[in-house]
Amino acid sequence: ENPHTQTQRTRGAALRNPRGTTTPGAGPHCGMAAAAGVWQLVGVAVATLLAAVLVAVALGRQRQRRRRAPLEGIPAPEDGCEVADGAWSAAVDGPTDVIIVGAGVAGSALAYTLGKDGRRVHVIERDLTEPDRIVGELLQPGGYLKLMELGLQDCVDEIDAQRVLGYALFKDGKNTKLSYPLEKFHSDVAGRSFHNGRFIQRMREKAASLPNVQLEQGTVTSLLEENGTVKGVQYKIKSGEELKAYAPLTIVCDGCFSNLRRALCSPKVEVPSCFVGLVLENCELPHANHGHVILANPSPILFYPISSTEVRCLVDVPGQKVPSIASGEMANYLKTVVAPQVILQLILS
């Protein structure tokens, strides 16, 4: 998770915006600064599907699936295999085929896809509690189609997700509405907006529901290498105990600020701006089921629903330094720079 993230409710949150990077958990950024997080899940879904195909080719199809009886809750040790502290599911019987580091969108989707194909998958996630982030909240129609392709479309059910049919653009007192070209698709196909954490939890539950997928809470501290080949990972569980896990293939899906990635390459992360996020409660936007983009000065402002009673406001603040919340600098910026433009464009236009 991004170490520069700050959150509040009514709630302001500031998140470093690493533009120009391509990561398994982020995907390519949108051309508009304030809409940078909008296209994340499209890229993630495509990358996840491609990764699943490549892994299947690399490993070859397993002749038969190893299955175990359904278990309720956190199971007791069975057959001499102990369930680690923080595990969502029992240890998988037999040697692990794939280790996945990180249970975000990419990690959870990949675990489910490989698990459905019969792979024995061990997912290690630093924190299995519901995330509270201001990115990955608006899924484009193409992303929803990929969820359907992966059998994960029900992950947007029962989280109060809102249908999104397009965008409304505002500039210089004028506005226009752009709808997605969905005429040729089933009526259920549309964008979806939601609380990112609720969506992530649904995906984790979906992956953990497979008997050959083990989802465990732990912090991976290093990759285990032998003669230049990654053999597995070393990780620490909640009790402080250091454990090792081995598999023929290890996939790192723990985000663009991953420490493990630095052991394999030298990523260049540029931070030209920061996102400031607010949750507006019981706020009605001019165009229902649409994202709203104000082309403001010095950068865009974005509004979209994330539940039936909440609207997310995202403000792109140029520069690497986030205005201080404690000193009141953030509140002053929002009141003097952002609010007047919102009133002019969104309310009076």
pLDDT digits (tens, 9 = 90+) for 60-100: 433 333 333 333 333 333 333 333 444 555 567 779 999 99
Residue 81 is classified by DSSP as B
User: CATH top-level class for 23-161+190-264?
Assistant: alpha beta
pLDDT of residue 88: 58
pLDDT at 332: 95
Which are the contacts of 281, defined by CB distance < 8 A and separation ≥ 6? 10, 309, 310
Distance separating alpha carbons of residues 124 and 85, to the nearest angstrom:
12
Comparing C-alpha atoms, which of 92, 81, 129 is closest to residue 114? 92
Q: What pLDDT is recorded for position 346?
A: 80
Q: What is the pLDDT of residue 53?
A: 38
User: What pLDDT score does 345 carry?
Assistant: 83
Looking at residue 349, what is its pLDDT? 60
Residue 77 pLDDT: 34
Domain residue spans of the chain:
23-161+190-264
Phi, psi of 38 (to 5 degrees): -65, -40
CB-CB contact of 264 with 239 (8 Å): no
* pLDDT at residue 243, rounded to an integer: 97
CB 236 within 8 A of CB 242: yes
SS3 263: helix
What is the spatial distance between Cα 306 and Cα 236, in angstroms, rounded to a whole number? 34
CA distances from 341 to 46, 178, 286, 346 (A): 36, 21, 15, 8
Q: What is the DSSP letter of 345?
A: I
pTM over 0.85: no
Q: What is the pLDDT of residue 317?
A: 93
Please report the pLDDT score of residue 90 as a whole number: 59
Query: pLDDT under 50 in the chain at which residues?
Result: 1-86
